[in-house]
A = this chain, B = another copy of it.
Amino acid sequence: MAKSTKQQQPSDSKMVSSELFILTYGALVNDLISDLESPEEVNRQLDKIGYNMGLRLADDFLSKNPRIGRCSDFRQVMELISKNGLKTYLGVIAQSNQIGNAGDEFSLIIDQNPLTEFVEKPVEFKDLCYSQVICGCIRGALEAMHMEVQVTLVADLPDPTELRIKFHRILHESIPAGDEL
């Protein structure tokens, strides 16, 4: 389905009910489960869907947060995701913790993940990563901002959602000529 280019004003931040979103996402996951053969394939598809969403949301995020400048290190990127990014789209903030001393890997813990609210995962779907779409979304949004990262869901239903984000590299080849990070 083609979508037109969007010129969003910073003041424009329409909202819809969390319940409607939860049910729509639930319908999407259910549909994928009925189509695909294994939970792993569902996870891959959710990640891909999230990635495509993230590519689109990156511009939207920057237009809604015009005061945000460039990040000088990956820690600032993490702060932006945990405090601004998740707040803008899911209406929640996350705790972020650095993993190791290199400053290139972080954990994000979303205590009140709207996606998983009211959802119970049957035991036969134990390998399903219900919130995998968030991983894909962060990966896509950061790629649109010229950063290649790896995002892994390490905990989900019934626990609080936890994911890890590892910085790989700056995508110099995708930065417009004359621009720089």
Contact = CB atoms under 8 A, between A and B. Distances in A.
Interface of A: 1-4, 6, 13-21, 23-33, 35, 49, 52-53, 56-57, 60, 88-91, 114, 118-122, 125, 130, 133
Binding site of A, secondary structure by majority: helix, strand, loop or mixed? helix
A172 to B, nearest CB: 28
Contact of A120 (B4, B14, B18, B31): B4
13 contacts: A3-B119, A4-B118, A14-B114, A15-B15, A16-B16, A16-B114, A17-B88, A21-B24, A24-B28, A27-B28, A31-B31, A31-B32, A31-B35
B20 A57 contact: yes
A143 to B, nearest CB: 16
A27 B49 contact: yes
Given A16-B21, A27-B53, 5 more contacts: A3-B118, A16-B16, A20-B53, A20-B89, A23-B53
Contacts of A24: 21, 24-25, 28, 53, 133
A87 B90 CA distance: 19
